[in-house]
A and B are shown apart, each in its own frame.
Chain A
């Protein structure tokens, strides 16, 4: 962390190899994979494509790194297998197309690459891809096969999430624009789906922590109350479950700006799971935890203790069927095996109530900005 005279901190370069892999390097990995396939073909072998097995069966909790990771199980897909041939073809097409994007410095949404590759196979009535449902999993296969994330294949999904606060960013793909995320109006900056360092550079900030909030409404409330400026913090609204772009940005701000991350969600199993995904990754994207998780993140609230501390009993709601089911699952997760969270989840299952972030308005509209958050952060009253 370097501080200059104005109190602004400069970004620290990402340290890990995988994170700074350039498009050129990713392209060469694709080329490598393809050359192995061609070599197999030339030497009369059934060509194969190897990727990681995904899903519950191959997700492991990495005690040391404190995030969900992918196990060692791989899948080999052979061309000369009736069940694999079509997917083998689709994989080769996605490889060729992403290779092209990388070399031409183009990016595309996963919907666009699907449309670009969809056509009728010559001499048949069969399409190369029958729907995006067929191309999306092939993209995930390739991500795992060349050991990267789709953002580095110059692909992106739909953007979601907003950033606000005193941080200077540079968009290298757009005239090298420099902009401050606190000077774009009250709406802040829409976090793009793809925010790799090759595109968006984090330059400098004076913020002391990053506050992630679940709802857009809370995000707006805090800006209206001038919270980020008064408390020297950055604000990210994730709007429910955090999208890849938002998670990647939280990860990068945390690592590159060496900034603590605090998460503020509704006080229910769904909100706590949002926190859990930001902190230690998700089952579905276990392989990408390295790029996206923030194991040091802390949880502010809402907790069921807040209900008593801040006298909110009259604005609680009953937990729904799905909340109860999720709480029962979460209590078994290895990463919730600490006494604070166990207590919290047991309490939820016992009282069967939930509390929303915005229920704090019951005390007063600005209560969250003037009292709740400053008190909690000041006392470091967090859940791990």
Chain B
């Protein structure tokens, strides 16, 4: 390889990096970039892509409803138009979008309202509804149809595409409709995707969305015309999460590049002081010692290397931990209601842990539920298996389970300790909601949480606590079942024995029978008493267990201080 060639290679890869990370630098080519890199944005795999499309539309609808305090009613329909060819229709009862904004929402990539805010939001994954518009026109050449209506305004219908050169929406067939409609409906066609009724399919995705959003009502019609409705179990729209400025410890280079595009600050110094949480003059003084460029520079002119320097400096300096006010858990009561309504378990235990902090700066919170029996567990050809439902800020994470800290935490639990024998093959659903303003995703697909030590530990503690409660129930139940079986077994042999003994001794058959039945009942009563005693011991052991793990936790915290 000649020197020249070598340079070429490194140049190209540098260019690629820049394109990947600095979308806003070349705004005119965003759409083209999307075209080339749709995998990176989560649109890969036929089944996965379909679910991701549903996810984008539904997430958009939920966020829209919540922002105006509306209880969401969302309807999803999928029609099969041909081989790997589908039409997806999503209708909500949200506030609707004005003529002026509809292009931004559905026809301009990276124009979402939440993109530059640090807020506990759903919309951190994927690339939004515009991405779907793009994907639809790329695979079918067709425009997406939108109907949207606002309060006291006439609803409009239109068709929309994106100009891939300019990243500008192209709206056609714009009409006012003579009917009453408040909300937004989108209908788009896609090729090269596949509907599956599987754990990664849209039905399961919607079911999980309903579980994590008890205030939403979701209905679904699959390509066969089968309709499913997940009813609302809670009548209050959750409080809007507080917007907080990003904490310097958690910011990445590409996020800074994105932030400077919209900042009102005129210097980098004021950008750092005003646009971040817990920064001040003291921080700037310290940063000046580390940073090599002039902090009076216009932030809009920051280049990649400079942004990287800022991140490095943030890492080197101490900041006060961020506030936890922005976290919005679903709540134990609400999870309880929705799981009972959708999974109908025999036993359910729910726990919302107190907020904690990971990686020295990010507040987060864990919610766990363990459901047993009923429709809990995964149905396989080999019987029921344990099912893990992972969520990040109420959004289901159906993919990449193997790389996820939440999965790893579940796998690290010795379920036998909690009397859940053969947990893998039990009808158990483990619900885990990870709440944070910043989810430490691994990979561009944003479907798995990184193995942060504090996150793993929090999930483990929550699992131990709920696992203990579930274990007590399950072993009680198993013992009860065993006793029933025992009674049945002894009882069935009694008539034969009584008949035989009667034929030899001539003692009355009925008398032998009733005496023997009494014997069985007394024996089982004794067994039950023994079981109860054992259970008590077990509960004590587990109580001590969880105490000692809490102690360990405290020790760890102490060390850090």
Interface residues of A (CB under 8 A from B): 30-31, 34-35, 37-38, 41-42, 44, 46-47, 79-80, 82, 85-86, 88-89, 92-93, 95-96, 99-100, 121-124, 126, 128
For residue A38, which residues in chain B have a CB less than 8 angstroms away from its CB?
A: 501, 505, 507, 512
A121–B492 contact, CB under 8 A? yes
Which one, B75-83, B124-132, B514-522, B542-550, is touching chain A?
Answer: B514-522
A92–B501 contact, CB under 8 A? yes
A80–B519 contact, CB under 8 A? yes
- B480 shortest CB reach to chain A, Å: 16
- CA A41 – CA B498 in complex, angstroms? 10
- CA A100 – CA B500 in complex, angstroms? 10
- CA A35 – CA B503 in complex, angstroms? 11
Given contact pairs A35-B505, A38-B512, A80 touches B496 in the complex (Cβ within 8 A):
no
Interface pairs A-B: 5 shortest CB-CB: A96-B500, A92-B500, A89-B493, A34-B504, A96-B503
A92–B496 contact, CB under 8 A? yes
List the B residue with the shortest CB-CB distance to A27: B504
List the A residue with the shortest CB-CB distance to B526: A80
For residue A96, which residues in chain B have a CB less than 8 angstroms away from its CB?
A: 499-501, 503-504
List the A residue with the shortest CB-CB distance to B520: A80
Is B250 in the interface zone, CB < 8 Å from A? Answer: no
Given contact pairs A38-B512, A46-B523, A100 touches B503 in the complex (Cβ within 8 A):
yes
Is B486 in the interface zone, CB < 8 Å from A? Answer: yes
Contact of B515 among A41, A86, A100, A128 (CB under 8 A): A41
Is B304 in the interface zone, CB < 8 Å from A? Answer: no
List the A residue with the shortest CB-CB distance to B488: A124
A123–B492 contact, CB under 8 A? yes
B519–A41 contact, CB under 8 A? yes
- CA A42 – CA B511 in complex, angstroms? 9
B522–A44 contact, CB under 8 A? yes
For residue A88, which residues in chain B have a CB less than 8 angstroms away from its CB?
A: 493, 497
Is B490 in the interface zone, CB < 8 Å from A? Answer: yes
B493–A121 contact, CB under 8 A? yes
Interface residues of B (CB under 8 A from A): 486, 489-490, 492-493, 495-497, 499-501, 503-505, 507, 512, 515-516, 518-520, 522-523
Given contact pairs A38-B501, A92-B500, A99-B504, A79 touches B516 in the complex (Cβ within 8 A):
yes
B501–A85 contact, CB under 8 A? no
Most buried by A among B496, B507, B512, B518: B496
B519–A46 contact, CB under 8 A? yes
- A152 shortest CB reach to chain B, Å: 17
The 5 listed contacts between A and B (C-beta, < 8 Å) are A41-B512, A44-B515, A80-B520, A85-B493, A93-B500
B489–A82 contact, CB under 8 A? yes
For residue B489, which residues in chain A have a CB less than 8 angstroms away from its CB?
A: 82, 85
Given contact pairs A42-B515, A82-B486, A85-B489, A31 touches B496 in the complex (Cβ within 8 A):
no
List the A residue with the shortest CB-CB distance to B522: A44
B504–A31 contact, CB under 8 A? yes
- A82 shortest CB reach to chain B, Å: 6
- A355 shortest CB reach to chain B, Å: 53
For residue B515, which residues in chain A have a CB less than 8 angstroms away from its CB?
A: 41-42, 44
List the B residue with the shortest CB-CB distance to A82: B486
List the B residue with the shortest CB-CB distance to A34: B504
- Given pairs A37-B501, A89-B497, 20 additional interface contacts (CB within 8 A): A34-B504, A38-B501, A46-B523, A47-B519, A82-B486, A82-B489, A85-B489, A85-B493, A89-B493, A89-B500, A92-B500, A92-B501, A95-B504, A96-B499, A96-B500, A121-B492, A121-B496, A123-B492, A124-B492, A128-B496
Given contact pairs A38-B505, A88-B493, A80 touches B500 in the complex (Cβ within 8 A):
no
- CA A35 – CA B512 in complex, angstroms? 12
- CA A371 – CA B249 in complex, angstroms? 111
A34–B501 contact, CB under 8 A? yes
For residue A122, which residues in chain B have a CB less than 8 angstroms away from its CB?
A: 492, 495
For residue B516, which residues in chain A have a CB less than 8 angstroms away from its CB?
A: 41, 47, 79
List the A residue with the shortest CB-CB distance to B485: A82
For residue B495, which residues in chain A have a CB less than 8 angstroms away from its CB?
A: 121-122
For residue A121, which residues in chain B have a CB less than 8 angstroms away from its CB?
A: 492-493, 495-496
B492–A126 contact, CB under 8 A? yes
Contact of B519 among A44, A86, A92 (CB under 8 A): A44
- A276 shortest CB reach to chain B, Å: 39
- A374 shortest CB reach to chain B, Å: 56
Most buried by B among A44, A47, A92: A92
B512–A95 contact, CB under 8 A? no
- CA A290 – CA B486 in complex, angstroms? 42
For residue A30, which residues in chain B have a CB less than 8 angstroms away from its CB?
A: 504
For residue B504, which residues in chain A have a CB less than 8 angstroms away from its CB?
A: 30-31, 34, 95-96, 99
For residue B520, which residues in chain A have a CB less than 8 angstroms away from its CB?
A: 80
- CA A124 – CA B488 in complex, angstroms? 10
- A34 shortest CB reach to chain B, Å: 4
For residue B496, which residues in chain A have a CB less than 8 angstroms away from its CB?
A: 89, 92-93, 121, 128
Most buried by B among A85, A99, A122: A85
List the A residue with the shortest CB-CB distance to B512: A41
- CA A31 – CA B504 in complex, angstroms? 6
- CA A88 – CA B503 in complex, angstroms? 16
- A42 shortest CB reach to chain B, Å: 6
- A233 shortest CB reach to chain B, Å: 46
List the B residue with the shortest CB-CB distance to A40: B519
- CA A297 – CA B523 in complex, angstroms? 54
Most buried by B among A31, A34, A35: A34
- B225 shortest CB reach to chain A, Å: 41
List the A residue with the shortest CB-CB distance to B494: A89
- CA A80 – CA B516 in complex, angstroms? 10
For residue A128, which residues in chain B have a CB less than 8 angstroms away from its CB?
A: 496
- CA A37 – CA B512 in complex, angstroms? 10
B523–A31 contact, CB under 8 A? no
B505–A34 contact, CB under 8 A? yes
- CA A64 – CA B72 in complex, angstroms? 96
List the A residue with the shortest CB-CB distance to B482: A82
Most buried by A among B490, B505, B515, B520: B505
A80–B505 contact, CB under 8 A? no
For residue A80, which residues in chain B have a CB less than 8 angstroms away from its CB?
A: 490, 519-520, 523
- A90 shortest CB reach to chain B, Å: 9
List the B residue with the shortest CB-CB distance to A128: B496
For residue B522, which residues in chain A have a CB less than 8 angstroms away from its CB?
A: 44
- CA A128 – CA B489 in complex, angstroms? 13
For residue A47, which residues in chain B have a CB less than 8 angstroms away from its CB?
A: 516, 519
B503–A99 contact, CB under 8 A? yes
For residue B501, which residues in chain A have a CB less than 8 angstroms away from its CB?
A: 34, 37-38, 41, 92, 96
- CA A86 – CA B501 in complex, angstroms? 15
- B519 shortest CB reach to chain A, Å: 7
- CA A41 – CA B515 in complex, angstroms? 6
- CA A123 – CA B494 in complex, angstroms? 12
- CA A123 – CA B496 in complex, angstroms? 12
- B477 shortest CB reach to chain A, Å: 19
- B497 shortest CB reach to chain A, Å: 5
- CA A89 – CA B516 in complex, angstroms? 12
For residue B523, which residues in chain A have a CB less than 8 angstroms away from its CB?
A: 46, 80
- CA A206 – CA B294 in complex, angstroms? 134
For residue A95, which residues in chain B have a CB less than 8 angstroms away from its CB?
A: 500, 504
Most buried by A among B486, B497, B504, B519: B504
- CA A126 – CA B488 in complex, angstroms? 13
- CA A46 – CA B523 in complex, angstroms? 9
For residue A31, which residues in chain B have a CB less than 8 angstroms away from its CB?
A: 504-505
List the A residue with the shortest CB-CB distance to B513: A41
- B156 shortest CB reach to chain A, Å: 68
- CA A255 – CA B492 in complex, angstroms? 49
List the B residue with the shortest CB-CB distance to A33: B504
- CA A137 – CA B507 in complex, angstroms? 27
List the B residue with the shortest CB-CB distance to A122: B495
- CA A167 – CA B503 in complex, angstroms? 42
For residue B493, which residues in chain A have a CB less than 8 angstroms away from its CB?
A: 79, 85-86, 88-89, 121
- A127 shortest CB reach to chain B, Å: 11
- CA A92 – CA B497 in complex, angstroms? 6
List the B residue with the shortest CB-CB distance to A35: B505
